[in-house]
Structure 1
Amino acid sequence: MSGAALGIEIVFVFFLALFLLHRYGDFKKQHRLVIIATLLAWYLCFLIVFILPLDVSTTIYNRCKLAVNSSPPESNSNGTYTTPAPRFHFPRAGRRDFDPKSLQKRTVFLPFSSWSNKRKQKCFKPWSYIPDGIMPIFWRVVYWTSQFLTWILLPFMQSYARSGGFSITGKIKTALIENAIYYGTYLLIFGAFLIYVAVNPHFNLQWNQLQTIGIAAANTWGLFLLVLLLGYGLVEIPRSHWNGAKRGYLLMKTYFKAAKLMTEKADAEENLEDVMEEVRKVNESIKYNHPLRKCIDTILKKCPTEYQERMGRNMDDYEDFDEKQNSYPSEKSLVKLHKQVIYSVQRHRRTQVQWQILLEQAFYLEDVAKNETSATRQFVHTFQSQEPENRIVQYFYTPTVEWYWECLLRPWFCRILAIVLAAFSIIVVWSECTFFSTRPVLSLFAVFIQLAERTYNYIYIEMACFLTIFFLSICVYSTVFRIRVFNYYYLASHHQTDAYSLLFSGMLFCRLTPPLCLNFLGLTHMDSSISHQNTQVTAYTSIMGSMRVLSFIADGFYIYYPMLVVILCIATYFSLGTRCLNLLGFQQFMGDSEMTSDLIDEGKELIRREKRKRQRQEEGENRRREWKERYGNREDSTRNRNVHTDQKESSFSEPSTNRPLSKYTRSNGKTERDRIELLQDAEPLDFNADTITDDPLESDSGRYQPGGRYLSMSRSRIFDDV
């Protein structure tokens, strides 16, 4: 099994990152470089989280081998024993190697029999043991690749994706200009650390120390953001599951979201109309013989199909417009317009999809509320699912099973899960405030790991480490997926996330994961700078380097700043951030707010309106299906007779009165057209249409474009004499 666990987790994490990216991104429409860069960033970050427990178990096994292979103690005159302890030298910052030749004396109060038992103890190799030399290379590749992505490549690609340029050179130029201030800020911060180390006489400035300064600067920035996100997730995740068990809470929150989303949807439609109007004006002014016509064609390709068809009808490319003294837009203005088109189309498409998803959620939650009082104990849906369900799921997840799960078991499951998550959150907060204490050890995670280390229970060690770092990652990453910075950064599921947000999420993950793992190693006292023990460190810590180069960061910021998580948890518990946003005009879901109640009522009315609309659509489809099943075969047979008669007589004649079913045919051969007209959407009659055609199927456009819903069925206006 040597190295097999590492290979299995590498493959598993890749498919996990691919699955999540497929849920949020769109492989068909987005650029391949954006997909590859985001996938690589997510993959490397998830890989660190999953592989670090294996590094911990391997390090504990190596410590056991060093303890067993050490020489026995020597007696002193005062009755104590001095044992040769391994000494670690640092040939370069960022790597710690064991030197068996250099030993230092350390006084310990252990009897000789105890040391003999230690000598006789056998070290069992863990099932996931990774051979020496693999982990340092692995961590070095993963860490520096992720840092290259987050600080250099992804910011550049982010600006490149948002650019409205029409050529690769133009997009690269725009990206370089936008990132000039971005990179300049980082150079300023790094220069400040560099000056501090150069001025301090205790440090000999070397290349390895410069590397450590860079790592310290990156980890400081990441830890600052990490504590903010962690303080929110530690409280919000258990509370969201607890509130999910309350009857009616999710439904009220869905009504609230519906009201807000409808406002955003209307704003997106209005914005798209304004941008398309600008595109129409530019399209009419710049014709085929203009040098900027290629730019216009590129912009039109990004527009929705219906707008492209509408703009292509009134094009007159036979007139030479260059001879006229017209004012044409510049290429710079077209670049700006191109950028607006990309943004408005993406936003409009996202709001449309989110609205349909929210409607399905609201309808399902209303069904849950209705089925709670059902005497048959079978779950009844108001609307059938639009997506075909798996047969295996249908076989096991029957209406009875669904009723017991949704109406009885699910609330209790959410409550139990919320209690477990709340207990984890309390342990994390306590450990964050006490992990610097080594005598006694107050961090609960460190206590758990040390107890397992005494018995060398590697399965328990890996499970404890994995659950700890996984919970910390969930608290941080879920906050990244939830936050929304206006409309510039927003991770929307169902393939609705734009390229800018995907790249930005990759940047955040790469910056948050290394300090998150260092914080985890500090909580478990696996970091020697926290435990103050001269023991072998993990391979991940050896790559990160010794933070002792910057003592005010190692002894100050890294120790005391995580304690702020207590203040952030208290602020999140009392919803101080939500209340502040509500006061600033950003509507948030608050139970004691009058604005929230108004939005809930508005959302309830919107859902009721959409529900009636869908019911009418289903009724119309059912009537059309019944009509087709009842009269479809008769019309087909009658049509075949008419065709046979036409071929035989070579002319059209009226059907004889003795033929049955002739009343369902027309003498002008428009049976199919009349049937289509009769089978239009079964909506109430609209008598307020402005225009109407005698036969909409024979219009000039070649497509059916009704002025009203049912007016196309009549030959004249019903209220012409009014």
Structure 2
Amino acid sequence: MAYLLIFGIIVALTLATASLYRYGNVQRQHPLVTLSVLTAWSFSFLIVFTIPLDVTSTVYRQCIHPTVNDNDDNTLQSISKTVSNSSNTCQKPWGMVSEDVFPSLWRIIYWTSQFLTWLIMPLMQSYLKAGDFTIKGKLKAAVIDNAIYYGSYLFICGILFIYLALKPDVQLDWQKLKAIASSASNTWGLFLLVLLLGFALVEVPRSLWEHSWPGVTLKQAYFKLAKLNIDKADAEENVDDVLESLNAVSQATPLTHELRPCIDTILRKVPTELMERVRRHRSDGGQSNAVPSEKSLIRLHKQVIKSIQTFQRTDALWNVQVEKVLHLEDVEKNLNSLDRRFKTEFPQQRTKLHEMICNPTLDWYWQCKLRPPFMRSMAIVLGVLSSMVVWSELTFFNRKPVLSIFANVVNVAKENHDFLTIELFSMITLCYLCYCAYSTVFRIKFLNLYYLAPHHATNEHSLIFSGMLLCRLTPPMCLNFLGLIHMDSHVIKTQVSETFYTQIMGHMDVLGIISDGFNIYFPMVILFFCISTWYSLGSRALNALGFQQFMLNEIDQNESISNEFIQEGKGLIDREKRRRQRSEESRMRRRGQQLPARELSNYRASPAQNNGRNGGSGGVGGFETSQRTSNDGLLGDGDSFDYNATNQMGRTFSTEINERFGDSTQIKVGFKGYNDLDSDNDDSRHWSNIKDGAPRNLFDDV
């Protein structure tokens, strides 16, 4: 029974669904985008979870029906012994899958994912970026946008076909054409895979080691926050300029114009708060009142989509980085806490289950005591695993003696018929390679056009890009892994039973330069990229070109540019703290204004008594409390004043001035039309003529 295969399918689908729900916004994004990305992610994860089952099935078939090269005497002797004892030793692994399942499964997964990544998703991505207002126009723009992209591939394929046609010993058929297509896709994926792994195999363990030291991590977070602030300011300026042009076009176009629906379509894609901000700060100078043409609206529509996408991406990056900096500051403040309870400056809402599982005491022990040594231990383990990958990439083509560490581990498990070890070892290695490859794309600066932001903050373009990337990198990565464990007969030049995955994918034997040269020796270039990453040659080169990067050897220098960015990051986070504190205080004031009338009467007993004595309505100063809103502004936030109390004043205005400044001044305050003798009485009459209640305008009581 294929219990493990069914379990792998469920896990892959669950993981893809949970990831899509975490990063995407299913309610707002297009259903086709959701379906395409879910399919791409599910199939990519399923390949990783199913390859170990295919490997164990192949090992079992090799044990039952071994076939080797006749020139390898040692292997013949070992296989003859295996055949003689096959009935006793070759036991079927648990969860064995039938042989007719894997070929159909791999055909569906591979060709569906290739169809998505090379045809559907690029068109879908260009369709979303198109500025046309009709489906036909968007499809036409998407095809034109991908014409150069597809034209380059057709040009390369044309050269390959001409080369094959001139070779008399090669007969082109459908199987050969599929091999050419898969070889082109896998060669492109292998080229990108080597670049990504060369960076990640060093950077992933090193980043874990650096993150185990809170001080260094906090400085790096300050540095990144300062750089994000520059990107955020540029994105805000760009989106403001584009939206100002859109606002001017909207005002210049009458409601009855034939292009007005197109403008309304653009306006619906703009967030309300952005459009309101542009209208508040709008400047009328230099704006044209001419009605735009349809082409200019299409161009403006495309600019709006691109600018809003960039703004949302930088805003999501900014919010994630701010939360990270605030958390790191909380960790640094709690390191020397005596009560051993983790305290945060800005507490977040937590569910009751989360509070029960992770209380402040457990959180303090994890963040301050257990997490740093755990991170360092994981860095050492992953560093050893990265060294094994690099060594195996350099030596996997050598079959006698076997130098690849992964091949030796699998061979030992073969001899002991330990299928569980083979499955677990293959799963751990593939998952680590996947993490290194996929995480690198979103960490390199020039590939930071797309970003997977949690809390439903990822746009559709980033989701489509991630789906394309997974579909292109997963197949060549699995082929490379099969070569590392010597399960590909065309790599080790030995006739053995192969995996069904390799049989469906092919060996790229049509072109000798690809099968004998590039796919074997190009992975050795990974050592060069690892050395470059270890010595930070890329960061040093970018620093020399003016693109400032975080360098650990410069943070202790007082006049370094890195230190300036760190200090700027501290100032930015202080400003963010003050903004959040003001927002929290304003929220608390609004909550206080919405208290029930009974609580207000108990809280303000004196004004209530005055209101009852003067016939008020039970509110403050004769006004009902329920009429007060959060928009009352300056008067609403000030201390309450009972204007009706002025009717019971026992002294005049002149008396009050004399009390403040002394009777020796002999000041008499009079009003026009009144004599000095009757000034006090006239003052009393003047005050009595004032209407009861608060002033109508802001300065009526001055």
Q: What TM-score bracket applies, with the shorter chain setting the length?
A: 0.7 to 0.9
Identify which of 383, 398, 423 aligns with 1:462: 423
Q: Match for residue 410 of structure 1?
A: 371
How far did 1:63 drift? 1.6
Q: Is the 8 A contact 1:164 1:171 kept in 2?
A: yes
1:215 aligns with 2:182: yes
Contact 1:13–1:46 (Cα < 8 Å) also in 2: yes
Matches within 5 A, 1:286-685: 286-306=253-273, 327-385=290-348, 388-485=349-446, 488-593=449-554, 594-619=560-585, 621-622=587-588, 633-635=599-601, 657=613, 664-667=619-622, 672-673=627-628, 677=632
- Residue 525 of structure 1 aligns to a residue whose secondary structure is coil
Structure 1 residue 24: Cα displacement? 2.4
> What amino acid does structure 1 have at the position aligned with 2:207?
S
Q: Distance in 2 between matches of 1:116 and 1:62?
A: 12
Q: 1:156 to 1:584 in 2, by over 3 A?
A: same
2:28 is paired with a residue whose SS is coil
Distance change in 2, residues 1:632/1:159 (3 Å): same
Deviation of 1:204 (Å): 2.5
- The count of aligned residue pairs is 632
Question: Retained in 1: the 8 A contact 2:243–2:275?
Answer: no
Amino acid at match of 1:610: E
The 2-side partners of 1:551 and 1:273 are apart by 55
1:353-387 Cα deviation digits (max 9, x unpaired):
443333322222111111111122221222211xx
SS of the residue aligned with 1:542?
Answer: helix
Structure-2 change in CA distance of 1:119 and 1:294 (3 Å): closer
Corresponding residue number in structure 2 for 1:172:
139
- Say which SS state the counterpart of residue 576 (structure 2) adopts: helix
What amino acid is aligned across from residue 545 of structure 1 in structure 2? G
Distance 2:244 2:432 in 1: 49
Answer yes or no: is 1:252 the counterpart of 2:219.
yes
The separation in 2 between residues aligned to 1:678 and 1:273, in whole angstroms, is 28
Shift of 1:111: 9.8
On the 8 A contact 2:341/2:361 being kept in 1, the answer is: yes
For 1:672, the aligned partner's letter is Q
Matching residue's letter, 1:377: R
Q: Structure 1 residues 202 and 409, CA, compared in 2 at 3 Å: closer, same or farther?
A: same
Alignment partners' CA distance in 2, 1:134 and 1:116 = 26
Distance 1:329 1:309 in 2: 22
Change (3 A) 1:716 1:356: farther
Query: Counterpart in 2 of 1:44?
Result: 43
- Give the AA of the match of 2:363: E
Please give the residue correspondences for 1:19-38 in structure 2 after superposition, counting only pairs within 5 Å: 19-38=18-37
Q: Sort the Cα spacing of 1:146 and 1:282 in 2 relative to 1 into closer, same or farther, 3 A.
A: same
Q: Deviations over 1:119-143 (max 9, x none)?
A: 5534211112100111011101111
Task: Determine the structure 1 residue equivalent to 2:154.
Answer: 187
Q: Show CA shifts across 1:318-366 (max 9, x none).
A: xxxxxxx974211111011111222222333343344333332222211
Q: Distance in 1 between matches of 2:132 and 2:533?
A: 42
Aligned partners of 1:194 and 1:213 also within 8 Å: no
Post-superposition shift, 1:272? Answer: 2.0
Distance apart, 1:150 and its partner CA: 1.3
**Equivalent position of 2:663 in the other structure:** none
TM-score normalised to the size of structure 2?
A: 0.83
Q: Is the CA contact (8 Å cut-off) linking 2:2 and 2:97 kept in structure 1?
A: yes
Cα gap change, 1:402/1:681 in structure 2, threshold over 3 Å: closer, same or farther?
farther
CA shift in 2, pair 1:493/1:586, >3 Å: farther
In structure 2, what residue type is equivalent to 1:602?
Answer: E
- Structure 1 position 51, deviation (Å): 0.4
**2: distance between equivalents of 1:188 and 1:603?**
49
Residue deviations 1:471-504 (CA, integer Å, cap 9, x gap): 1111111112333546643333333332222222
Q: Which moved more, 1:401-410 or 1:583-592?
A: 583-592
> C-alpha separation between the residues in 2 aligned to 1:111 and 1:298?
73
Q: CA deviation at 1:429?
A: 0.3
Segment drifting more, 461-470 vs 520-529: 461-470
Aligned partners of 1:480 and 1:505 also within 8 Å: no
Give the deviation of 1:270 after TM superposition. 1.7
Q: Distance in 2 between matches of 1:61 and 1:437?
A: 24
Q: What is the distance in 2 between the residues matched to 1:143 and 1:713?
A: 75
Closer/same/farther in 2, CA of residues 185 and 627 from structure 1, 3 Å limit: closer
Aligned amino acid, residue 525 of structure 1: H
Q: Distance in 2 between matches of 1:285 and 1:37?
A: 40
- 1:15 partner letter: T
1:261 touches 1:355 (CA, 8 Å); kept in 2?
A: yes
Q: Which residue of 2 aligns with 1:241?
A: 208
| Larger mean Cα displacement after TM superposition, 592-601 or 615-624 | 615-624
Match of 1:427, as an amino acid? M
- 8 Å CA contact retained: 1:160, 1:175: yes
Q: Could you say what the CA RMSD is over the residues aligned between the two structures, in angstroms?
A: 3.3
Q: Write the letter of the residue equivalent to 1:665.
A: V
Find the aligned partners of 2:336 and 2:636 in 1 and give their Cα distance.
35
AA aligned opposite 2:41: W
Deviation track 1:565-624 (CA, whole Å, cap 9, x = no partner) reads 000001111111122223333332223442211111011011112223333444455566
1:232 and 2:215 aligned: no
Structure 1 position 716 matched with structure 2 position 682 = no
Bigger mean CA deviation after superposition, 661-670 or 192-201: 661-670
Of 138, 161, 168, 2:105 maps to 138
Write the letter of the residue equivalent to 1:666: G
**Which residue identity does 1:50 align to in structure 2?**
F
Residues 228 and 565, structure 1, Cα contact 8 Å, conserved in 2: yes
Instruction: Identify if the C-alpha distance between structure 1 residues 478 and 209 changes in structure 2 by more than 3 Å, giving closer, same or farther.
Output: same
Q: For residue 672 of structure 2, what is the aligned residue in structure 1?
A: none
Moved more, 520-529 or 326-335: 326-335
Partner Cα distance (1:675, 1:512) in 2: 54
Moved more, 127-136 or 417-426: 127-136
3-state SS, counterpart of residue 547 of structure 1: coil
Map of 2:8 onto structure 1? 9
1:229 to partner: Cα distance = 0.4
Q: Is the 8 A contact 2:63 2:82 kept in 1?
A: no
Do the aligned partners of residues 351 and 206 (structure 1) sit closer, same or farther apart at CA in structure 2, a change above 3 Å counting?
A: closer
- Hey, what's the Cα distance between the residues in 2 that align with 1:350 and 1:683? 40
